[in-house]
Structure 1
Amino acid sequence: MTLTTAAAESAAEIDAQHIRDAIRDAIVERRLAPGTKLSETDVGSLFNVSRTLVRAALQALSYEGLVSVEKNRGAFVASPSVTEAQQIFATRRLLEPVILREAAPHIGKAEVKDLRKLLAEEERLTNQRGAPARRAEIKASGDFHLAVAAISGNAILTRFMDELVARSSLVIALYGQSVISSCGHIEHQQIVDALEKRNVETACALMLRHIDHIEADLDLRPAKKGSDLKDVFRM
């Protein structure tokens, strides 16, 4: 392989990663709704790249469960089923206490300060109105969970958490009922308070309750099959 060829392949990988990150951010921030068609031609035109690069980006997102690639139909923002939504939160209940226990020995004054900076930004966004602020608040809420995972120093746990936060955003976009934050700011504060006091088991209990509250705000009742229009729209 020549240097020129290697450089071209490296540039292509960077372009595909950029597209993947941009689409991923839009999904996580709920700017792209579940079920949205991601046409290779349209995405390629938006980013001024070839369909080959777009296809690579979409394939990477499909591995994360954020995009569904259907034969002869194309790619769509994934629409998690009720069962998948329940499994995502069941997995978070298993994983996040482990992350807290892994992170706890590494949490000192500097780490607490960084976490409180995230909470301050989250609070600022919570007090603002409008769709852009709401999307930014959702991202800030997810960033808190990712920051705790990063403190653990375990790259595998952090990667798993990154995927779970992204897929949770999809679930919340599809099944969320409340207009208020689905990832409670006050509960984040309580978790940091417990970690600062070295009350790790308290922090774990608070995290589990927090995840329960997120899931409780979702309407995960399966849709009725074969509904009759007259029954659905009965006055």
Structure 2
Amino acid sequence: MPTTKLSEPATPAAIAERIRDAILEHRLEPGAKLTEAQLCEVFAVKRGTVRQALSLLATEHLVDLEPNRGAFVASPSLQEVHEVFEMRRIIEGGVIERVCRDQGGQGAAHLKAIEKMIERERKAFEQRDFRSWIRLSGEFHTALATLTGNRVLCNCLAGLVARSTLISALYESLGRSPCSFDDHAEIVEAIRAGETARASDLMARHLESVELKMLDRPARGAADLREVFGA
């Protein structure tokens, strides 16, 4: 299997991005061992570069670094599921209120772009492009947050959405994303109509539904990193 070609130089950030994408697209399951030697071979870099990349992912709670055992894709507990979604409900409820309050001017154009994203999400599902569907379902929430103009909020939510997607990989099988594009469309419709209370309620119910759909079925299985990242 040919090694993955990255633009030169293969930086820790670039490698971390590739691993992050593989996790969020369900190509790497929770609990999968990230063997340093294989990653060095796949990305054609030295061990120190791989370790820096894994450290970056550990700060995002996407990778667990265990002494004397190595690096593993994180396996969130049910308690973490509840805590992550509690935080998301708090933050995204604030996002809805802010977006509804500030709508106007360029707001309509931005909402139109998000509506197009929802259509891509729907099309990916219909075409059974589940990896794109999963990615787009998370991007809906982060795209909505960008309308607040608050970078700290956006960075915080992006981390929570990434952890939610990891949780989805643990508790849901590929092709069964719990995040509904129909819900997304209804939320945007309420925002566009200026119905703050309805939009907030729809978002809260959407996130509660996503949390409840997470089934207690931990994923298992080793990963062939050459196959995951191969050309």
Regarding TM over 0.5, the answer is: yes
Task: Report the 3-state secondary structure (helix = DSSP H, G, I; strand = E; otherwise coil) of the residue aligned with 2:33.
Answer: coil
Shift of 1:77: 0.2
Shift of 1:218: 1.4
1:89 aligned partner:
85
Higher helix proportion: 1
2:227 aligned partner:
none
Shift of 1:101: 2.0
Q: Give the counterpart of 1:43 among 39, 45, 48.
A: 39
Aligned residues: 208
CA contact (8 A) 2:170 2:217 kept: no
2:126 aligned partner:
127
TM-score w.r.t. the length of structure 1 is 0.83
CA deviations on 1:182-234 (whole Å, 9 max, x unpaired) are 10011000000011111122111100000111111112499xxxxxxxxxxxx
TM-score w.r.t. the length of structure 2 is 0.85
1:25 aligned partner:
21
Shift of 1:29: 1.1
Letter paired with 2:125: T
Aligned Cα root-mean-square deviation (Å): 1.9
Larger radius of gyration: 1
Letter paired with 2:212: A
Written as runs of structure 1 = structure 2, the 5 A alignment for 1:1-235 is: 15-104=11-100, 105-106=102-103, 108-129=107-128, 133-176=129-172, 179-220=175-216
Cα distance 1:71–1:180, how it changes in 2: closer, same or farther (>3 A)?
Answer: closer
Deviates more, 1:200-209 or 1:95-104: 95-104
Deviates more, 1:211-220 or 1:26-35: 211-220
1:230 aligned partner:
none
Task: List runs of 5+ in structure 2 lacking aligned partners.
Answer: 1-7, 219-231
Cα distance 1:178–1:138, how it changes in 2: closer, same or farther (>3 A)?
Answer: closer
Report % sequence identity. 39
Cα distance in 2 for partners of 1:106, 1:44 equals 48
Cα distance in 2 for partners of 1:30, 1:204 equals 29
Cα distance in 2 for partners of 1:99, 1:40 equals 39
Cα distance 1:67–1:103, how it changes in 2: closer, same or farther (>3 A)?
Answer: same
